[in-house]
Amino acid sequence: MSVFRVALSGDFRKTDGSPTFPDFDLAPLMQAKHVEAVFLDNASPLEAEQLEDFDALILLAHRFDATSVPKSGRLAVIARFGVGYDTVDVPACTANDIALVITPDGVRRPVAVSIITFILALTGKLMVKDRLARSGPPGFAARGEHMGVGLVGKVLGSLGVGNIGAEMFRLAKPFDMNFIAHDPFADRKVAAELGIELVSLEELFRRSDILCVNCPLTPETHHIVNAERLALMKPTAYFINTARGPIVDQKALTRVLQERRIAGAGLDVFEVEPTDPDDPLLKLDNIIAAPHALCWTDQCFAGNGAADVRAVLDVMMGQVPRGVVNREVLERQGFKAKLAGFAKRFG
């Protein structure tokens, strides 16, 4: 029987050959029958020649664009480590009968927890109070000047009510807040079950005491958070983004924060990453910043890895994996033929 070959992008290994993320357990993949797993050399975007003889790719941060598609036509699935897929050319995948899979189950709870972390840190003035505690008696004397904000009755708003947004609202239930969201694709049944009022985009910005971004980066959402919409926010409101940096016009957000037109922001993502240490945004004392890693925990990475391995092995058995982004590929004859071939060989 032939071998099912799986490529892992080179950024899953450090230069010394050790794993970048040890919590990604590769044992189920390496020990599976008829599977050969190989680490690629580092390249971004990936080169087509690297992928000619592979059936599946598990992809971390390297880009996959139209030039990455192997001519052999053998590649059947790309399992992205995470939920963002702006680094992958989705139309190119579909046109070449390649399913793109993401890991919503792996990141749903960790990202939602990171949002709650920002909410509590911002409203509790955690960073300010940390500095006060470290400054001795003068800091303790000044603590009354930095009162936190209670959450009961406040309005928690979300731009997007997908996998992560819904989980955020579930976790926020005990805080007795009012929930609103804008999402033209929202599952109204889920929204009703969670007590979320669906509102217009402008109303979301006007009413939210805490506004969180929980939508993917697409051409439609690029800079959807702009100067005009930020100007609608309350001066007491907080803004949180753990999704993707380019969803926000960062220069506009910087101006709003500099001028204290909103209370503060929690940012795990930026328009350009890594960030420039001289970026004026990072000089502000009314933001809390994280390096696109606030949700990075042992459980998050174990979950992402397990989901990717499961998706790859499902395809090997001729089954449709969970988390397919380009659902239209499932109806293409070329992709169906690949699944049928795998089922016959390995199923």
In the sheet with 287-289, reading across from the earlier edge strand, the strands are: 196-198, 178-182, 155-159, 210-213, 238-241, 264-267, 287-289
Is 244 among the residues known to form the active site? yes
For residue 176, give Cα distances in angstroms to 155, 156, 161, 199, 214. 10, 10, 19, 19, 20
- The length of the chain, given as a count of residues: 347
Q: Which of 52, 193, 273, 328 is catalytic?
A: 273
Q: How many CB atoms lie under 10 A from the CB of residue 17?
A: 7
Is 292 among the residues known to form the active site? yes
Q: Which of 13, 80, 109, 292 is catalytic?
A: 292
Q: Which of 244, 261, 310, 322 is catalytic?
A: 244
To the nearest 10 degrees (0 to 180), the angle between helices 163-172 and 104-123 is: 50
Is 328 among the residues known to form the active site? no
**How far, in Å, CA of 201 to CA of 181, rounded?**
8
First vs last C-alpha separation in the chain? 11
Q: Which two tokens stand for residue 128?
A: 């300010």
Which residues are tagged catalytic? 244, 273, 292
